[in-house]
């Protein structure tokens, strides 16, 4: 396969109990990318489910850590070491309750923003200088844990279903044209339709 390698990691929690929850948006975006690239079934490796492929003339690895959200860094650090991934070639996709529903925000680096999955990754990699795509799940009043571990309402789900392809477009742009172009093109993007 060609180089350089890109590692795309979607964050979430394994198992059917969490499959449809807001905290699993990262998994949903990776699933959309797998469909686009017509990849075979994900294989267990590095405490994750991963697929390696040549996509847009680059070797790309798609991954869903199976460590549960709070320990995502264990899996990501294993993959980074095994495949010799540089920080700028890693992109992590995850839900963010600090962004309005459906809003996308690509960044080159930065703090964890209170997200436990990102906190774990930054701690294990010992750097916060790697790209990430945040997908807004909306503000919350009350217990944030209940918010992220609940499913979307029907109206919210219809809206967020329009966000997933857009988020996948942003990741595809990151792979083909780089993080700056993805930032310029997708930051602040929301799906068509009225926000519930």
Please give the angle made by the CA atoms of 188, 189 and 194, to the nearest 5 degrees: 110
CB 62 within 8 A of CB 39: yes
Q: Is 23 a catalytic residue?
A: yes
Q: How many CA atoms lie within 13 A of 193 on its CB side?
A: 15
CATH number (3.40.140.10, 3.90.1150.10, 3.40.50.300, 3.40.50.1470) of 5-186 reads: 3.40.50.1470
Question: pTM for the complete prediction?
Answer: 0.93
| Sheet architecture: strand order including 104-107 | 43-45, 48-55, 58-65, 5-10, 90-96, 132-136, 104-107
d(CA 39, CA 11): 19
Domain ranges of the chain: 5-186
pLDDT at 144 over 70: no
pLDDT of residue 39: 72
Strands 132-136 and 104-107: antiparallel
**What does residue 56 show for φ and ψ, rounded to 5 degrees?**
55, 40
163 or 148: which carries more pLDDT confidence?
163
CB 95 within 8 A of CB 26: yes
pLDDT at 140 over 80: no
Q: Across residues 4-25, what is the average pLDDT?
A: 93
Q: Across residues 133-157, what is the average pLDDT?
A: 83
Choosing from 23, 56, 115, 124, the catalytic residue is 23
pLDDT at 190 over 90: no
Tell me which DSSP letter residue 151 carries. Answer: B
Q: Could you tell me what percent of the chain has a pLDDT over 90?
A: 74
For 52-100, the DSSP string reads EEEETTEEEEEEEE-S-GGGHHHHHHHHHHHHT--GGGEEEEEEETTS-
């Amino acid at each position: 396969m060609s180089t350089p390698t890109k590692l795309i990691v979607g964050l979430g929690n394994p198992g059917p109990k969490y499959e449809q929850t807001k905290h699993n948006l990262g998994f949903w975006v990776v699933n959309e990318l797998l469909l686009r690239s017509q990849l075979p079934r994900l294989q267990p490796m590095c405490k994750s489910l991963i697929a390696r492929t040549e996509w847009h003339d680059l070797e790309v690895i798609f991954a869903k850590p199976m460590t549960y959200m709070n320990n995502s860094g264990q899996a990501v650090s294993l993959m980074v070491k095994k495949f010799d991934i540089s920080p700028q070639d890693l992109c992590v996709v995850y839900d963010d309750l600090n962004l309005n529903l459906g809003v996308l925000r690509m960044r080159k680096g930065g703090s964890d923003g209170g997200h436990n999955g990102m906190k774990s990754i930054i701690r294990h990699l010992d750097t916060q200088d790697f790209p990430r795509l945040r997908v807004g799940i909306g503000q919350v009043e009350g217990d944030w844990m209940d918010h992220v571990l609940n499913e979307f309402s029907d109206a919210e789900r219809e809206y967020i279903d329009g966000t997933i392809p857009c988020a996948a477009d942003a990741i595809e742009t990151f792979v083909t044209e780089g993080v700056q172009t993805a930032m310029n093109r997708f930051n602040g993007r929301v799906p068509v339709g009225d926000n519930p």
